[in-house]
Structure 1
């Protein structure tokens, strides 16, 4: 309620309308009246979409000046409101989530047995000494310092170009890391001696991590600058405490390393399974996503990305202002549009399954997770909205319950890649 002090009248006393209009001004009174009517009537106007309206999506589209003019001339007020409501999820096929068939690709790098053996080998090698090779060429197990250059292969020399991303100077190459170099590289340099240069053609595989090199036919030139072999202590119980503090036998070292990597493998397997299930879900739902929902989700992603950048790189005020500008946010929303829409579809699908299957989580879990989240905000000295925190935690707990239910009911096949 708007209030005004009028000379000659005590606070709380009624002021004649003519005097009030003269003191405050007719236009200001009309403006305050329209504002008051809006505040009182908007909740009633929104009653029909209670529980369905999306957060912060209410927009009064009638101009305030038009409302003032209508009220002034007709002594009535009419205005139009637009609100985004929670979209309806349509499954194709209907109830398709109940018969999921999911193929999960597992990276061979997370095989626990193999990973634990490689870690033991790495720790063993760290206890050895590198000694210079003087009487032979390179063999498996050696460490070489190499200068590597590469060009494309073309019959017309004018079309040959250098490949800077495939070049390296003073590259310390452990020949036991053959899976980290292009196939055929090790075989091509076996026997090379310090001061010697070898040239050979190779083809980058289609699965190569650098996309611009995939399928490229390249001519490599490799010069061996230095060559070393490892002088390793015998791998037995006497090394146990140096390999893994607290251990007394080699067997204990192996068991503890394997246990660690089994935990890593299980976590990775669960994450890969969840990702595969969510990807399958978003392909099975048809839904119209409101712009307000897209923007809210996209801004959350961008905010998280900005926090990550700040944690890794010290930004000055100008850089932070540039990254936080509406232009930067809009560019992010446009470039990540497909990913954002897919995540929203996944979230809507998960929420729909939660309701359909009448899943529940304990109130104790909700209270505990909300308290933990708020404690983390306070620790980081960040502002937070407790209601929003509760909503986000609830979404996470609902998602966890749905994924647990889907893992139990889906047909899941694991393959190594």
Structure 2
């Protein structure tokens, strides 16, 4: 057998296999699977059968197909041996159609077929320093500021103890709770009204005027002084950063009806409320201290996560990688599986929904919609792997075993199928990433800024 390796893509090795005449012996070998399955009258099992008798009894087409299959079994492992140390698992593809191989087979000519296999991609660093002297800027949301979060949490708990009273002698002001019917129509470029916007409409909408972060800018201001039974109409524009993509930048005419208006009658904030605000506390100082401590823990976790994300994001920008198809499919399916497991753990999906979302079509739709994100994560993972090897970082066998056991237990808890080999590889990736991030935090410059 002769092998000619070539590459049409940077991570896609094509191997041309040419099998010389010695493989023609398979054509009349009774050990060829389909041939061996026949008991030919007058011949003992495993004894050579004359070619003409064999062909007449079994049929040329069956013998030929069996011979092609046997050739593939004999030659494919040898063909792939040249790249076995770099080949990605489950990425082998025979490019030549079986029908074409069978039709072209002849004892008088060389048998040829093409194979492709994805190999581990090369990581190309865009900087001469690679990951050395890394500078990272971490943006921290104000919402995770422990002091501000603690104040907000105490206020939320205090409000929960209040009583709602009907407002009878004034209009709406900040601090009230109001029940609204909201209608919306798009406004065209010439100023005329367009179609209704169902996703921006709501009947019986409860608005706490102290919690208005998700409102369209100007919406609350347009309602100040609003009285029950009153209707107001006003134009507003959804911001370009609005969470619902279809509404970003849309100009709309809102019509709002005030149905009910309430204010909160709050109890005095003193030590007598301590136990109700936070069970186990007897003074307001204890309440404030414990809430602040919890918020500090949340802040610390949020900052650590933001730092990890910023470092990984910066690493992804420092490398170029041609992501092979097999690696993209594997990583994408892992991310999708983790997403389904999380949804099931949160009891947002039943078994029928899980089955529907696990279909091949659903998976492929996810892979296409998340292609950019999946490729970004793969680049980060490959960069992490390079650093892990270059800096000779290590994690303990005990850590690996424990985390694999925990992951398997998680799959079993939700009756999910799993592959222990895949789980082990995923855990290894996570442990490597943790070690690399720990090393980078000690060896790079990190700047924290508030958004």
- Asked whether the equivalents of residues 184 and 201 of structure 2 are also in contact (C-alpha less than 8 Å), the reply is yes
- Asked whether the equivalents of residues 70 and 76 of structure 1 are also in contact (C-alpha less than 8 Å), the reply is no
Separation in 1, partners of 2:51, 2:200: 82
- Asked whether the equivalents of residues 369 and 393 of structure 1 are also in contact (C-alpha less than 8 Å), the reply is yes
Greater per-residue strand proportion: 2
Say whether 1:112 aligns with 2:143: no
1:233-262 Cα shifts (integer Å, max 9, x gaps) = 221222222112222222222222222222
Say whether 1:251 aligns with 2:307: no
1:314 matched residue in structure 2: 350
CA shift in 2, pair 1:325/1:149, >3 Å: closer
Shift of 1:207: 3.8
- Asked whether the equivalents of residues 177 and 207 of structure 2 are also in contact (C-alpha less than 8 Å), the reply is yes
CA shift in 2, pair 1:217/1:334, >3 Å: closer
Separation in 1, partners of 2:157, 2:375: 45
- Asked whether the equivalents of residues 9 and 15 of structure 1 are also in contact (C-alpha less than 8 Å), the reply is no
Separation in 1, partners of 2:410, 2:336: 20
Shift of 1:394: 0.8
The 3-state SS of whatever aligns with 1:46 is helix
Q: Which has the higher contact order (CA 8 A, sep 6+)?
A: 1
The 3-state SS of whatever aligns with 1:97 is coil
CA shift in 2, pair 1:386/1:329, >3 Å: closer
1:171 matched residue in structure 2: 205
The 3-state SS of whatever aligns with 1:369 is helix
- Asked whether the equivalents of residues 96 and 114 of structure 2 are also in contact (C-alpha less than 8 Å), the reply is yes
May I ask how many residue pairs the two structures share in their alignment?
Answer: 413
1:350 matched residue in structure 2: 384
| Structure 2 gap ranges (5+) | 1-30
Separation in 2, partners of 1:312, 1:393: 26
Equivalent residue for 1:405, pick from 439, 442, 445: 439
2:329 matched residue in structure 1: 295
Say whether 1:18 aligns with 2:59: no
Equivalent residue for 1:60, pick from 89, 94, 100: 94
CA shift in 2, pair 1:268/1:4, >3 Å: same
- Mean Cα deviation higher: 167-176 or 147-156: 147-156
Greater per-residue helix proportion: 1
1:89-111 Cα shifts (integer Å, max 9, x gaps) = 10001333223222222222222
Say whether 1:194 aligns with 2:192: no
1:65-119 Cα shifts (integer Å, max 9, x gaps) = 6666787615976544321110111000133322322222222222222122211
CA shift in 2, pair 1:160/1:18, >3 Å: closer
- Asked whether the equivalents of residues 181 and 256 of structure 2 are also in contact (C-alpha less than 8 Å), the reply is yes
1:264 matched residue in structure 2: 298
CA shift in 2, pair 1:174/1:63, >3 Å: closer
1:137 matched residue in structure 2: 171
CA shift in 2, pair 1:184/1:33, >3 Å: closer
Separation in 2, partners of 1:76, 1:187: 82
- Asked whether the equivalents of residues 316 and 380 of structure 2 are also in contact (C-alpha less than 8 Å), the reply is yes
State the TM-score, normalized to the length of structure 1. 0.83
- Asked whether the equivalents of residues 193 and 253 of structure 2 are also in contact (C-alpha less than 8 Å), the reply is no
The 3-state SS of whatever aligns with 2:393 is coil
CA shift in 2, pair 1:34/1:183, >3 Å: closer
Separation in 2, partners of 1:276, 1:54: 29
1:52-74 Cα shifts (integer Å, max 9, x gaps) = 10011112334556666787615
- Asked whether the equivalents of residues 199 and 222 of structure 1 are also in contact (C-alpha less than 8 Å), the reply is yes
- Asked whether the equivalents of residues 130 and 230 of structure 1 are also in contact (C-alpha less than 8 Å), the reply is yes
1:20-58 Cα shifts (integer Å, max 9, x gaps) = 995784856666565455445433332222221001111
Equivalent residue for 2:312, pick from 273, 278, 292: 278
